[in-house]
Structure 1
Amino acid sequence: MNRRLGLAVVAVVLLLSTAGCLSYVTGGGEVSDERLDREPAQPYSWDTDRDAQLTLHTTDEVQAIYRVDADQRLRLYQSTGLGTEGPLDISAVRFQYANGTVISGTELRDTPDGEVEQTPDEVYVTAPADGQLAFSADATPRRLSLPVYVEGSYEVILPEDYRIDFFLFGNTAPRGAASEIVDNQVHVRWAEVTGPMVVVQYYLDRDLYVFGGAVVLLSLIGVGGLYYYRRQIDRLHDVRVQMGLDTEEDDDKK
């Protein structure tokens, strides 16, 4: 019985090891043409003057634009938990040359100097020339967290009606960010970011009213509970007096 169990464990370990090695040999799966050339949810804002601009039109997807140099290779990855990393699930890849010409993700991959290569741990994208690289990726609602793929000036644009000011619900990292509201969207800016992560935690503006209402309600419940508790104590004292149980105590107080 023990021998069979041992053989089964060895077989499972070998199977997992073989699968892992195979994934590395095959490159962990290619980024499909459909994903590379997918239309972005909103047009990319190529006119940014930042080295990196991260725009959230919705809470579950980020549009990233990075200023890159010719032959610059970006390693796009994300944390998958327990200290491990996995490839960033990119789509709608576009590249804009310095002269304004925009090419799709498959066209970038097919250029002599361009590259889009996925491994089990990351996606490598190599810029074919000086310009801007744009792509879309999934985002965690109300918390944007991305590694710093490109160092320099950063800007994060939040969806409409979302804010970062209230310290319990809002936060930014690294420190030193400046923010302003433009057309009901918060713009968070850093003059220089060198890593390792850019994090913006944000909340819906009306959440504060819900939070305030909950605090008031809990306060009223607490006050009501204390009042009820005090009334019960007074009533119990009156009953004890009527039964003559607290007579001696009252006499001592006199």
Structure 2
Amino acid sequence: MNRRLWATLAVVALIGITGCLGGGPSEEDLGENATYDWETNANVSINVTDDRYQAVYNVTNQTRMDVYREDALGSREPLEIRAIQFRYTNGTVVNASAFNVSSNNERTRLGLPAERGQLAFTVQQDNKEVLVQTFRKGSYNVTLPEGTGVGIPLLARVSPGGFNETTVDGRTRLQWNDVQSDTLVVQYYLDRDLLIFGGLFAIGLTAAIGGSLYYYRQIRTLRRKREDVDADVDIDIEDDDSGPPPGMG
């Protein structure tokens, strides 16, 4: 009995330790090299490329930041970040070795090198979609890859609303003055998608017009046939009324 009890306690302890350690990013991922654009006035700047985005956070009176993502059910899990860096107010930039990083099954905690400065990291992203948990409230800039846009609602989605859209160096930039929602989502399209969408729309429109003309002609044909049948019936009736019934003449 004691052996079973100790075995059960060992399993529970192992599960607890695993939960506390969590998945989290590896030291190799955190120490990756990256080049960030630190020149921004926004509280958070997101620079999106084809398969990842770079986030730069302005830090004020803050010693740590918890980063995480939420799944479809709203459960939190550690955000898979890479290439973390910190820029001091004097312009000095340090890498992962200057951070105190810990993870559990819900978040990754970044102990910052200083209370003021800028924090940057990189995140892998799904194709043509950026979903950001807003750990830091305030102003946001999201710069999309070159040759993309969000102007057609059928092909794109941006939340929250109330943003300004500009073009900087041939790239679409979305700007929010004050984001207070828990998440920021940008689904964008490639410019070449417009050609595909336009071609499919043209094909669909042509098919719809062709189908309408076909049914219109069918209706006209049936109407003519019915008119011809009605005319034949009228002629037969007139012929029957031209003389007295048989045996009455």
Alignment match of 2:158 (pick from 172, 175, 185): 172
8 Å contact 1:69–1:127 — kept in the other structure?
Answer: no
Q: Normalization by structure 2: what TM-score? A: 0.80
Tell me the equivalent position of 2:31: 37
1:35-90 alpha-carbon deviations (Å, 9 max, x no partner): 011123xx2001112111000022x2110000113543211111122221111100
SS, match of residue 206 in structure 1: helix
Contact 1:145 1:197 in 2 (8 A): yes
1:61 maps to 52
In 2 relative to 1, CA 72–251 (structure 1 residues): closer, same or farther, beyond 3 Å?
farther
Match of 1:47 in 2: 39
Letter in 1 for 2:98: L
Maintained 8 Å contact 2:24/2:108: no
- Once superposed, what is the RMSD of the aligned Cα atoms? 2.9
Q: Would the aligned equivalents of 1:143 and 1:201 in 2 still touch at CA under 8 Å?
A: yes
Partner of 2:244: none
Structure exhibiting the larger radius of gyration computed from Cα positions: 2
Residues 55-94 of structure 1 aligned to structure 2 (within 5 Å): 55-58=47-50, 60-94=51-85
Percentage identity across aligned positions? Answer: 32
Aligned-pair CA distance for 1:21: 2.8
Stretches of structure 1 that go unaligned for 5 or more consecutive residues are: 1-13, 110-114
User: Does the aligned pair in 2 maintain the 1:85–1:121 contact within 8 Å?
Assistant: yes
Unaligned runs of 5+ in 2: 1-8, 238-249
Task: Give SS of 2:40's match.
Answer: coil
The answer on whether the counterparts of 2:128 and 2:188 sit within 8 Å (CA) in structure 1 is: yes
Deviations 1:153-199 (A, max 9, x none): 11000000111112222332222211101111011111222231112
TM-score (norm: length of structure 1): 0.79
What is the deviation of 1:226?
A: 2.2
Mapping of 1:132-151 within 5 angstroms? 132-151=118-137
The alpha carbon displacement at 1:30 in A equals: 5.0
